[in-house]
Amino acid sequence: MRTSTFILALIILIVSACEQQPAYEELGLEEITITELQEGYANGHFTIEEVTKAYLQRIEDIDQNGPELNSIIKINPQAVETARALDQELEEGNKRGPLHGIAVVLKDNVDMKGMATTAGARIMEDALPPDDAFITQKLQEAGAVVLGKANLSEWANFHSSFSSSGWSGLGGQTRNPYDITRNPCGSSAGSGAAVSANLTVFAIGTETNGSITCPSTANGIVGIKPTVGLLSRDGIIPISFTQDTPGPMARTVTDAAIALGTMVGVDTNDVKTAASEGNFNTDYTQFLNKDGIKGKRIGFYTGPLGNHHRVDSLTQQTIRLLEDKGATIVEIDDISEENVGGDSFQVLLYEFKDGLNKYLASLGENAPVDSLAQLVDSTLADSVEMQYFDHDLLITASKKGNLESQEYKEALERMKRYTRAEGIDRVMDENNLDAIVSPTGGPAWKTDLTNGDNFGLSSSSPAARAGYPNITVPMGYIDGLPVGLSFFGRAWSEPELIEIAYAFEQATNVRKAPEFRGWEK
């Protein structure tokens, strides 16, 4: 080959490589924050349409191809059109709110008009809701671009006697971006994996017990599980009227706080939100204080310790850091004097049946079945749904009575009493605490569809059963796998928890992007 021909061929190869470089990398979206995106829109560095297309391409490259995280169950066909319209609004001097042009993924138990809400169940594949969920509407009013729906543990992991987090009959198994052989944890598995892998700026998860905090710790991100009632559950497929709440999942406390403030508000379709009147803030960034640990009395809940010595060691190092930053630490062995796990389980069974039947009724003619009982029959007859798991919880819940049952009322009363007045509130009053901390969970386990999940340790239950807020922040890594620290406390204490969580994040700054270990390129 002549030299000139060789040089020409080389130039063509270089140009071709540049043309194939993902727009995501060209735009510098790796680990980008809401504030950085807003600055980029303002100075013309990129448009909302360009950013949206870049995220959609990354989802195709990373989620559907490449490592095949399988975190996104469906793409919003209107995403680019929405982005284009938001660009036009900016050109006209109209900025909707703090999320204008910011990409979000919704867990697929959250309604968005025009897209089916499936909870990962095959029978729900065409279940189109009549309206947006309250929080979906609030996000769009603030300018968010919904990229799509996240895969989840089917029925938010309330379906089988044992299961694999992140698996659904419709969406398959979600993988952990730090190591694709490992589990993303929790029912908001797709939301956690998508945020961590930079497929979106933030995502919405939902929690009944651990389903925001667990995927946040396992995927190395920040998760906020608010006080039940701070955010409306209207338009969200339920498990528990008492314990359910949606919440933001993001890579930084700041981004999670921004997102949280856009979704608050009293909603007549969710009576729990009435109590949030006077207790919510539309701007939680005002509580971001780098010195937020100094002077605080923090309870150290040691109950989850003793299950993983390396988590114990990392937690003890973190406790010393909190003391170095000016906190007074008070060790707490137990939060409740009674084990109310059985009571909580009964509450979930009764409320799942009642809530799901009401949700199915709200779908009208788009409901694939009329009741949980019919859902059970259809599920048991589906070979894909029954390939790995028994769906025994669906069966058990379908046999429960209504919410007038004495068994339900007694379980609910005991759970509330021993987790609130005689639980978190009592412990905090007796020790004059501002917050409680504990390791969120252990390193992600190997995904196992034969034996199911292996949680190891968790600190989510006290706040979850009480309906109180809980924030998890990356604490460190064990063999390259992230582990988080949880901050929880009284009802409506989001401002104090955000302050402490932000100060901890700024003092440690341990978050690092995943490298998809186990994927052979």
Query: C-alpha dihedral over 292, 298, 304, 305, to 10 degrees?
Result: 100
The answer to whether 188 and 141 have CB atoms below 8 angstroms apart is no
SS3 call for 75: strand
Q: What are phi and psi of 169, to 5 degrees?
A: -60, -30
Q: What are phi and psi of 476, to 5 degrees?
A: 170, -170
Q: What residue type is 173 in one-letter code?
A: Q
Of 71, 107, 149, 336, which one is the catalytic site residue? 107
Q: What is the pLDDT of residue 428?
A: 98
**b/e per residue, 274-301, with b = 16+ CB within 10 A?**
ebbeeebbeebbebbeeebbeebebbbb
Could you tell me if residue 434 is left (phi over 0), alpha (psi between -120 and 50 degrees) or otherwise beta? alpha
Q: Answer whether residue 70 is part of any domain.
A: yes
SS3 call for 433: coil
Closest-CA residue to 280 (of 492, 498, 499): 492
Of 168, 187, 188, 438, which one is the catalytic site residue? 187
Tell me the residue range of the domain where 416 lies: 23-508
Q: Answer whether residue 435 is part of any domain.
A: yes
Q: What does pLDDT average to over the chain?
A: 96
Question: What are the pLDDT digits (tens) for 305-359?
Answer: 999 999 999 999 999 999 999 999 999 999 999 999 999 999 999 999 999 999 9
Q: What is the pLDDT of residue 442?
A: 98
Q: Answer whether residue 281 is part of any domain.
A: yes
Is-catalytic flag, 165? no
H helix count then E strand count, the chain? 18, 13
Q: Answer whether residue 229 is part of any domain.
A: yes
Residue 477 pairs with which residues in a beta bridge?
Answer: 482
Q: What residue type is 450 in one-letter code?
A: T
Closest-CA residue to 172 (of 27, 78, 64): 64
The answer to whether 69 and 180 have CB atoms below 8 angstroms apart is yes
* Beta carbons within 8 Å of 296's beta carbon, 6+ residues apart: 326, 327, 328, 434, 435, 500
Rounded Cα distance, 7 and 12, in Å:
9
Distances (CA, A) of 23 to 33, 47, 81, 84: 17, 12, 18, 17
* Beta carbons within 8 Å of 50's beta carbon, 6+ residues apart: 23, 27
The answer to whether 104 and 200 have CB atoms below 8 angstroms apart is yes
Q: What is the pLDDT of residue 5?
A: 52
Which CATH number does the domain housing residue 230 bear? 3.90.1300.10
Q: What is the pLDDT of residue 492?
A: 98
Q: What residue type is 479 in one-letter code?
A: D
Q: Answer whether residue 456 is part of any domain.
A: yes
Closest-CA residue to 166 (of 236, 69, 88): 69
Question: What are the pLDDT digits (tens) for 250-301?
Answer: 999 999 999 999 999 999 999 999 999 999 999 999 999 999 999 999 999 9
Q: pLDDT per position in the chain (521 positions), as tens? A: 445 555 554 444 444 444 455 699 999 999 999 999 999 999 999 999 999 999 999 999 999 999 999 999 999 999 999 999 999 999 999 999 999 999 999 999 999 999 999 999 999 999 999 999 999 999 999 999 999 999 999 999 999 999 999 999 999 999 999 999 999 999 999 999 999 999 999 999 999 999 999 999 999 999 999 999 999 999 999 999 999 999 999 999 999 999 999 999 999 999 999 999 999 999 999 999 999 999 999 999 999 999 999 999 999 999 999 999 999 999 999 999 999 999 999 999 999 999 999 999 999 999 999 999 999 999 999 999 999 999 999 999 999 999 999 999 999 999 999 999 999 999 999 999 999 999 999 999 999 999 999 999 999 999 999 999 999 999 999 999 999 999 999 999 999 999 999 999 999 999 999 999 999 76
CB atoms within 10 A of CB 371: 15
* Beta carbons within 8 Å of 137's beta carbon, 6+ residues apart: none
How many Å from the N-terminal Cα to the C-terminal Cα in the chain? 32
Is-catalytic flag, 107? yes
Number of domains comprising the chain = 1
Closest-CA residue to 482 (of 453, 511, 515, 518): 511
Q: Answer whether residue 6 is part of any domain.
A: no
Is-catalytic flag, 486? no
Query: C-alpha dihedral over 118, 120, 124, 126, to 10 degrees?
Result: 60
The H or E element containing residue 477 is strand 470-478
Q: Token pair of 16, please?
A: 């071709």
Q: What is the pLDDT of residue 17?
A: 44
* Beta carbons within 8 Å of 484's beta carbon, 6+ residues apart: 213, 216, 217, 220, 223, 439, 440, 441, 472, 473, 474, 475
The answer to whether 499 and 288 have CB atoms below 8 angstroms apart is yes
| pTM of the predicted model as reported, rounded to 2 decimal places | 0.95
Q: Answer whether residue 228 is part of any domain.
A: yes
Do strands 435-439 and 72-75 pair parallel, antiparallel, or not at all (unpaired)?
unpaired
* Beta carbons within 8 Å of 73's beta carbon, 6+ residues apart: 108, 118, 120, 148, 149, 150, 151, 152, 168, 170, 171, 190
Of 71, 164, 211, 458, which one is the catalytic site residue? 211
